Amino acid sequence: MANACASHSRTDWRRVLPASPPAPSAPPPLPPPPSDARSIPHALDDTLRSLLLSPHPPDDATATLRLRSALASFEVVRKGLHPSADDRGVRPIHLPLLAASFARVAAGGAHAAPPAAARLARLLLACARAFLVEFHAARALCLTLALPPPLLAALHPSPPSDPPLAVDGFAATADGAELRRLAACLLRSGVGCSAAPLPHSPLLAAAEAEARALLAAGGLRPSVVKRRGAARQVRRCEDPQRRGDVVRWLDGADADAPALSALTQWLRNELMATLREACAAAPPRHNSGAGRAPVLLLEPSRNLPLAMLACYPAGGTRFHRHVDNDPSTPDTRAVTAVLYLNGGWEPSDGGCLRIYGAPIADHPKAQRTAAAEPYLEVEPRLGTLALFWAHRVEHEVLPAYAPRFALSMWMCVAADQPEGWMDS
Ligand SMILES: O=C(O)CCC(=O)C(=O)O
Ligand SMILES: [Fe+2]
């Protein structure tokens, strides 16, 4: 199953359908927002139907924006929040809601006529591209529709000889060999670090520029750390002495940060697929992250947005030594991926990632603390991608003396993960 999903996620859906028709002059009015969590599925269905059946269908961008707000309102309503810029993100946990809505609307006959079926398929794939529906769910539903033969033929997965993915207009090579090497290092020793910038693309510099602009516009907020309080419940609080970065969560479709979104999608698609494949192919006990479990099954985090943009804003800000998924406050995170975005980094800027642990001792660049503990330092240069086990590897961010940017993604264990993966 993991392999099947991985191959679908590599299909470039942008190439399977014709370009959007021109934007209409009068888009249909929005249905009323949901008033409570139970009415959200109906609200989604209504929004979807109004988009599909309108005599003046909006373009893909407008349509996905509407579905995106309808989905984001789930989190707002569920938590009893007032909608604000912070709460508009779509969590992976919400994606099946929209897929289910598409299935209901399709079953309800909105697709009965071939042109309507084609429109439904178009919108579904636009949603997959905007990360509002999982690719494999979109494809599975498309195959149940009565689509015209040319469209159906176009929906077959791309052959392996396909040209590399083009991410939102940027040419990004798949960088597959280096990703597979990193995955192998991760499984063997718990840590993998790229030797050359990844992905090999102008996206990196564009993303750094966006990150700097977002910081300047006040778009990043102080981060929080987890703490076990009285009665053993876990609290989240700011603690700038322990962790001094400011962050912004991204879900891969953030309109004000297209290059960061494209990198988020690259991590979600290319890196995730490579790690899943490596984990699925590893014989039992040959994956240092699987603990006592026979296999490690990875999927995107269901509770967090896909990626976190973080900035340590100079002044010696740091993140003290920690394990991301500490067994004292356990969650489902298994892999931490950090992509650094600091084009002009100099050693005097500080902010290296220091990784501790026994396997590091064998690394050619390993150093030792005064107490002879082995460690490895990763320089946060533009395009350096570091991977390590979120539930095993101790690490810290050393004091930063210039603004230091990184895009992080956590890959979690799937719901059907066999027990024992947290045990050493
Ligand atoms: O940015 C880095 O190098 C790592 C940050 C980190 O440890 C974290 O966010 O948990
Ligand atoms: Fe960390």
Residues 408-419 have a mean pLDDT of: 94
What percent of the residues of the chain are helix, what percent strand, and what percent coil, each to the nearest 5? 40, 20, 40
Please report the DSSP string for 366-422 in residue order: -EE-TT--EEEEE---TT-EEEEETTT--EEEEEESSEEEEEEEEEEE-TTPPTTTT
403 Cα to the center of ligand 2, angstroms: 18
Q: Which residues surround ligand 2, an ion (CB under 5 A)?
A: 324
Ligand 1, residues at Cβ distance < 6 Å: 310, 319, 324, 338, 353, 395, 397, 406, 408
Are 207 and 237 within 8 A, CB to CB? no
- Look at ligand 1, atom 7, and give the residue with the nearest C-alpha: 396
Average pLDDT over the chain, rounded to whole? 79
- For 93, phi and psi rounded to 5 degrees? -65, -20
Are 193 and 380 within 8 A, CB to CB? no
Residues 375-404 have a mean pLDDT of: 97
88-126 tens-digit pLDDT: 567 777 788 898 998 888 877 655 554 577 788 888 877
133 Cα to the center of ligand 1, angstroms: 28
176 Cα to the center of ligand 2, angstroms: 25
pTM for the full model? 0.71
Complex ipTM > 0.85: yes
Residue 80 region by backbone torsions, left for phi larger than 0, else alpha for psi between -120 and 50, else beta: left
- Cis amide prior to 199 (ω within 30 degrees): yes
128-157 tens-digit pLDDT: 777 788 766 776 777 676 555 554 444 443
| Size of the chain, expressed as the number of residues it contains | 424
Alpha-carbon distance 269 to 274, whole Å?
9
116 Cα to the center of ligand 2, angstroms: 48
